[in-house]
Amino acid sequence: MRLVGTNVCSTGWRALLPHVTAGPLQANARCLHAPFARHSRGGAAWRENTRSQASMMVAPSEVELPTELNKIVTLFKAVPDPKLKYQQLLSYANKLPPLPAEEHTEDNKVRGCVSQVWVVPEVREGKVYWRADSDSALTKGLAALLGLAALLVQGLSGCAAEQIARLSPEWITTMGLSQSLTPSRNNGFLNMFMLMQKKALALLVDAGAQAAPASTESGGDAARTSAGNGAAAPAEASTSGPAGGGGGGGGESRTPVRDSMVRKLAERLRPERLEVVDESAQHAGHVGARETDSPSGETHFRVALVSPEFEGLPTIKRHRLVYQALAEELAGPVHALSLDTKAPSDVAKG
């Protein structure tokens, strides 16, 4: 997923926060390896790390489910006979638009499933629709159900990408379909959910990038220093849409992730000082520096900023603002951030 420009809503991707803010947040300068890896979702380590940050978490049960989806969940729960549940699941499977054999590709395939499952999203009128196939009828039904859920949440207020990012699969367990469907690390079902989520978001990002005109972004050295840039960037970015769109430069930028980070931090936090340093080379060979996650190789950053938005806030809350601004990057190629967050009064003091 290239993050050259996005249509991310200003409210940010709150559901990603549990993964973003988990991790030791003691020192600003510490390299943070938050459990961005998908498999840690809901894991014990995550829960332990987020103990002290409970107030910041968006608990899955608090995530709003659209009425239609709630109805489906309730219906399944109410049916005592598992066979009837499966019958219903199969009827969802039958309603899926067919997926021809040519689209049964590795890229579309869910890993870690005992059966073979392929999922392909497409965007129509700004919403993501799904086609899927499987050699297992029940798994196809699950894919259909997930696709339907993703479609229904897109009907909620807020933008499609945000709603899809917020969607989590916990409600499936309450439907009583089978104990084998409980989300867990090696679970094929969870992999299916995450692949669908990732593909949908990628598709929406691409759609957004194509929709917005390419604008010239002053990335690179200019962003390293002064206040001047902090003031200038929002003005530039705002011409192309609510959260900025377009590419990282007139041509193809070689540092698209950094460009995007600079732009967002500038917009959201209006810093007096902003420094975004790519430290990925120091982490080459690190498990977080895989090429597939970041085609540009930008995975580890040090960010230092002075912003009036930080005034009066404890460090933890300052970091949270940074993470909110950079949620998309953190969910994607960026594996660690080293943060130095000051308010203007801190600088004045010392």
Partner 1 sequence: MDGRASAPTVPPLRQSCQLTDRTHRAATSPRTRRRARKTAAAVESPAAELSASPAALGAALRGDFPILHQTVNGRPLVYLDNGATSQKPEVVLHALDEYNRRYNSNVHRGVHYLAAKATTAYEEARDKVARLVNARSGREVVFTRNATEGINLVAQSWGNLHLRPGDEVLVSVAEHHSNLVPWQLACQRTGATLRHVPLTPDTQELDMQAFKQMLSSKTKVVALVAVSNMLGCILDTSYVAEEAHRVGARLLLDCCQSVPNMPVDVQAMGADWIVASAHKMSDVLEAMPPFMGGGEMIEHVGLDVSTYAPPPSRFEPGTPPIAEAIGMGAAAEYLGGLGLQAVRAYEEDIGRYLYERLSAVPGVTVYGPPPSRGRAALCSFNVKGLHATDVSTLLDHAGVAVRSGHHCTQPLHAYLGINASARASPYIYNTEEEIDTFIIELEESISFFRDA
Residues that bind partner 1 (CB under 8 A): 82-83, 86-87, 90-91, 94, 114-116, 134-139, 178, 180
- Least Å distance, CB 310 to partner 1, is 52
Q: How far apart are CA 305 and CA 276, in angstroms?
A: 8
Q: How far is the CB of 72 from partner 1 (least distance, A)?
A: 18
Q: Six-digit token pair at 276?
A: 């975004």
Q: In the annotation, is 113 catalytic?
A: yes
Choose between 46 and 86: whose C-beta lies nearer to partner 1: 86
Q: The tokens 């080293």 sit on which residue?
A: 338
The DSSP letter of residue 222 is G
* Shortest reach from residue 78's CB to partner 1, in Å: 17
Of 59 and 114, the one with the shorter C-beta distance to partner 1 is 114
For β-strands 273-278 and 336-342, DSSP reports them as unpaired
Handedness of CA 280, 285, 290, 295 (dihedral sign): positive
Burial of 264 (0-12, 13-18, 19+ CB in 10 A): buried
What token pair was written down for 248?
Answer: 């990282």
Residue 257 identity (one-letter amino acid): V
Q: Tell me the closest approach of the beta carbon of residue 172 to partner 1, in angstroms.
A: 15
11 or 116: CB nearest partner 1: 116
For tokens 């990732």, what's the residue? 198
Q: Which C-beta is closer to partner 1: that of 9 or that of 138?
A: 138
The residue with tokens 């608090």 is 62
Cβ proximity of 158 and 5 under 8 Å: no
Which spans in 154-255 are helix H?
160-166, 170-174, 188-211, 227-238
Measured from the CB of residue 168, what is the shortest distance to partner 1 in angstroms? 24
The full DSSP string for 48-116 is HHTGGGGGG---GGGSPPPHHHHHHHHHHHH---HHHHHHHHHHHHHHSPP--GGG--GGGBPTT-SS-
Beta strands in 250-315 (DSSP E): 273-278, 300-306
Comparison of 56 and 90: residue with beta carbon closer to partner 1: 90
User: Rounded distance, CA 3 to CA 243, Å?
Assistant: 13
Nearer to partner 1, 26 or 94 (CB): 94
* Smallest distance, partner 1 to C-beta of residue 55, A: 41
Cα separation, 222 vs 219, whole angstroms:
6
CB of 249 to partner 1, least distance (A): 46
- Contact (CB, 8 A) for 28 and 262: no
Residue with Cβ nearer partner 1 (142 or 223): 142
Catalytic residue among 9, 31, 113, 159: 113
By annotation, the residues acting in catalysis are: 113
